[in-house]
A and B are shown apart, each in its own frame.
Chain A
């Protein structure tokens, strides 16, 4: 069992409250996943700048003077915002790969949670309310976001095993369920050049979707393909730079509820995750059909 929440805003007026709304939804899903929690938030891109969200088990040591060290390595200004065990680095877009290699060299203990021009990912072990407080999630603004509360089944309870998983620029995926053919699919993806941080099944699903997008498929087609190539139980919610998608396996025993108003599209593992959203009383509320792809893009 796990909990998933997601919000895709149509009304820009709600953007300052995205973090607060998602945090409330996330905490409601605590009893579906008390092991760890995470959130991916997309906010407007800054001209020419990209973001790297990084994580360290020893932030005091790893993040000390990291912006300066990177500036020196890249010859370009780098800004760093530290939030507990995570930090968001802003670097020129054309320096993203260089920054990643420099990071691996300068701070080998640091893990990259996400890269892109608008995504930030924060995830840790612990109760959702503690994870949310640690990263001050409720203060974040953005256009869309996805959250996950984890009850681990397939791999260890670690920071890197928490969701969302990001395996491509501005892409992320969360999962409720378990995959049975992930080892085979992982081998296939490694052959195609994907790299993996964990033994987790969900990371394979994320990388699978990233690979499809890399091959030129659109989000809808990439999600469609999971239905034939991934075996097991799943409800996936995925985020891209400008999109938000949902797909459930054909058996569809992992719960899902969606709501749509003029202001937003919302996803919850259960209806109670949605009850505090504005205008929910008059929203169109439905259960996404099995083996059916839903996606919204702006």
Chain B
């Protein structure tokens, strides 16, 4: 286990040590102590390592993550796991705005609540939120899955493309072109797998969710739909 005291050694030293890990490495377990809300902790990692951050983080923790498993033993600031490519990010607490934004792959698990714009413009990432999500979540989401065990805020899935959204609780309102869709057996199977990987299988069953997706009316501009944009 490599223990890194962020307060003493600094962010640049941490991230350059993590960026130096390439391919196979013996240093597979890392612990970051005293994060104290610092920005960009463990951003840009590209190695199959396990990193535990003991405390809350600031902007862009685990941004652009590839391969790594990053656990935050606290809450995460804005843009956690932004543009994640692969790997797993697990947050024990809450996540601030635009968690998992533009993510292209991997799994983001938020055990508390996520605030506004969760999964905005997601492009293949899977996001499992144990609590609630804020307004404008999954705005223009292109692909991937957003699973919410709690409630969703206003304008869920506005201008959605092909991402799937599953919500167990109430949805305050759906955004333009986002509609409820039938839950078919393949969706139940997909959800069962995501709940398991998202450490939520003890908390919720796939049958309890509703599925939301794109009505596909706003893909191309059509003057008859002008009022819906």
A interface residues (Cβ-Cβ under 8 A, vs B): 250-253, 255, 257, 270-275, 285-287, 289-290
Contacts and interface: CB of A to CB of B under 8 A. Distances in A.
B134 A271 contact: no
Contact of B115 (A250, A270, A285, A287): A287
5 contacts: A270-B58, A270-B59, A272-B36, A272-B38, A275-B36
A255 B37 contact: no
A252 B96 CA distance: 11
Given A285-B56, A290-B116, A290-B135, A255 B38 contact: no
A257 B59 CA distance: 13
Contacts of B59: 270
B36 A255 contact: no
B157 interface: no
Interface residues of B, number: 18
Interface string B60-98: 000000000000000101100000000000000110110
Interface of B: 36-38, 56-59, 75, 77-78, 93-94, 96-97, 115-116, 134-135
A270 B97 CA distance: 12
A275 B94 contact: no
Contact of B77 (A252, A270, A289): A270
A271 B56 contact: yes
Given A270-B58, A272-B36, A272-B58, A255 B94 contact: no
B75 A271 contact: yes
Given A270-B59, A273-B37, A285-B75, 18 more contacts: A250-B135, A253-B116, A257-B96, A271-B56, A271-B57, A271-B75, A272-B38, A272-B58, A275-B36, A285-B56, A286-B94, A287-B94, A287-B96, A287-B115, A289-B134, A290-B116, A290-B134, A290-B135
Q: Is the interface of B mostly helix, strand, loop or mixed?
A: loop
A271 B58 contact: yes
A271 B72 CA distance: 14
Pick the 4 closest A-B CB pairs, nearest first: A272-B37, A271-B37, A275-B36, A287-B115
A235 to B, nearest CB: 12
B116 A255 contact: no
A274 B75 CA distance: 13
By CB atoms of chain A within 10 A, which of B37, B75, B77, B93 has the most? B37
Contacts of A290: 116, 134-135
Contact of A255 (B93, B97, B134): B97
Contacts of B57: 271
Nearest to B36: A275
A252 B115 CA distance: 10
A275 B97 contact: no
A144 B93 CA distance: 28
Contacts of A287: 94, 96, 115
B37 A275 contact: yes
Contacts of A272: 36-38, 58
A272 B97 CA distance: 16
